[in-house]
Structure 1
């Protein structure tokens, strides 16, 4: 497709599921926007003052945390394959189109991380997307097999990490443990434990402070964080992209399966995932949110159950939205503008919570944060469709496409004749 032709027809189901995913990403990330990072993996670390806060965490743990990230990766893989296939069909260099898109996405990711928010996923998507190119011609069955082994590798890495935490705790708390060993254990568990009063005060002061201090923390103190995230979660992210590619090829994400097949997928996935996640939550609570159990349940054990939940959630979304309607059209529009909604959410949330904006960081419990989430969902649904009724792309989608193509893309839709 050249720069003057109209965009190819959309796959409605893909847009709808992507719309739900980008909204769900906010529900997952809201804790990281508004609370110390320890609270993202350890519910006892912050924001758990009431029973409503506990229920908010439990619901998020079972249905949202990790699942929305996985679903977003799932859809990224499907969309990436679709772009490659369409470039090939148009006689373009699919390799060049893909690498340009990933290269500019990498740049967006680094700018997002260093200038806006530390929770960026675009950098990892760009790097892993370049790797996913190697799998573009595989059949669905082979893509699923590769994803299986990648998820197994992710689980093995996380399980070994959890085992090291249990071992270190036992050694550091044993009679006669050295001061050096106890210091190592204290440093090792710091990212997952309830923060000390000093650490909490430092974190609150940082994010309630000015932009310069927050930028310095990202760029200087934690400048390698994107690389660390890539190393620790790259295998799993690639697995989800491959599963998304397989789901596109099989017709799952095109809405081509029968209602019975989608229902069966949802029932089986939820039957596996919901009891498993509920059981992991029980183990975590029963162990009083100890750091080794946090790593074992939240970081490790969830890896093996997450794919079932991702498929179940995707199938459930497709079942509920098959008849369409005004709300569904708005969700699809939010999915078409997912890149803009993702980056826009970071801009809005950091302005709300950080000190250079409204300074709400650390002032709200987990249940209260849902008010912010729902309000932002409303913004996504309200702006996306009217904009896309008039324009071909969301603002950041247009910029990404223009940079990747090397020439300004047509923005305004032509009036019907």
Structure 2
């Protein structure tokens, strides 16, 4: 999971109070949810070895969070990319993605191997191919690409179910007690290029499909004028939530098994259910926005406006807590304790984000990226 700055540059005209709250609330909420899911990777526990309270926490994570919030972020990335292309054109769009690729590369090598900023930046360039498509064509393209990716994932899993039993792999970084920061960083640097290319090829169809759905939402003004799309939001809320919960329960069941076939099938179940659940959340929060009933959810808007800074801070703090060169808690925590830590840290980030936005308007990484893309003269208008 990673998280790039998915927000488009706000228009220079109009005061900040005219900014639509829905995209920022969705982004901030997704940021908190991504941290919950990423805790397994930060802490180094095995999902199929969770028992008692840890098992209950893992089930809650699988049903309500796993795959959902990363899908929201990917769609918001496509939404922001479509807006940037429409306003600024291809040249600045490409420049911004090169800057994001640099930020993501440094994040991967220096801080954490789970970076997705670099993958988003690279694959996001494909949006140049879809820039002239309407909302219907974008949804159609997303359906074809996403459907093919899910189909091949299920097909690959079925071949293992029909073959000899293979033990499940944790798919966690190779971290051993006593490793120094230099050793871990060197290993990440050596694997970065292969991970970037391999991850982009493996996840390419799925991520681009999500980008296209976000671009379709931009064409429809779904997030900026949700009051015009109440029937659609209701359908998303009902059917997305229902399908997402059903597939989330299936994922939780698969994650209790130690065989590789279950892990492999869990990938399309996770992402398919995650997309459905994500659309359900969009529908629910969109309806609350229309009704003026966001309530405490409004606090996530500030976190969403400094999403990149918060995402990088999550990686920095959690690797400091768990990796052997600092807190050395790797492999010592289970799903329940890491869930509690994620919720607590997420709450602190929401609170700090409100202070940062109130005083500075945006976070430090957001300002740096905008300065690199737009230059010092346009930074405050970007």
Range of TM-score over shorter length: 0.7 to 0.9
Q: CA-to-partner distance for each residue in 1:333-392, whole Å, 9 max, x for gaps?
A: 111111111111111111111122222211111001122111211221111122112223
What is the correspondence of 1:260-339 to structure 2 with a 5 Å cutoff? 261-282=232-253, 285=256, 288-296=257-265, 298-321=266-289, 322-323=291-292, 327-339=296-308
Shift of residue 104 of structure 1? 0.4
CA contact (8 A) 2:108 2:192 kept: no
1:216 equivalent in alignment to 2:186: yes
CA contact (8 A) 2:24 2:304 kept: yes
Partner of 2:227: 256
Shift of residue 165 of structure 1? 3.0
Partner of 1:349: 318
Q: Distance in 1 between matches of 2:269 and 2:284?
A: 24
CA contact (8 A) 2:254 2:263 kept: no
Shift of residue 74 of structure 1? 0.7
Q: CA-to-partner distance for each residue in 1:306-334, whole Å, 9 max, x for gaps?
A: 33222101112233455267744421111
What is the correspondence of 1:96-115 to structure 2 with a 5 Å cutoff? 96-115=91-110
1:155 equivalent in alignment to 2:131: no
Q: CA-to-partner distance for each residue in 1:94-151, whole Å, 9 max, x for gaps?
A: 1111001101001111111111100000111111111112212211110000000111
What is the correspondence of 1:21-100 to structure 2 with a 5 Å cutoff? 21-35=30-44, 39=46, 43-44=47-48, 46=49, 48=50, 50-87=51-88, 94-100=89-95
Q: 1:279 to 1:31 in 2, by over 3 A?
A: closer
Aligned CA-pair RMSD? 2.8
Q: Normalising by the residue count of structure 1, what TM-score does the alignment of the two structures yield?
A: 0.81
CA contact (8 A) 2:62 2:251 kept: no
Partner of 1:230: 200
CA contact (8 A) 1:109 1:122 kept: yes
Partner of 2:169: 193
3-state secondary structure, aligned to 1:253: coil
Q: 1:157 to 1:264 in 2, by over 3 A?
A: closer
Partner of 1:181: none
CA contact (8 A) 1:4 1:409 kept: no
The count of aligned residue pairs is 370
Q: Normalising by the residue count of structure 2, what TM-score does the alignment of the two structures yield?
A: 0.88
Structure 1: which 5+ runs fail to align? Answer: 88-93, 174-184, 413-417
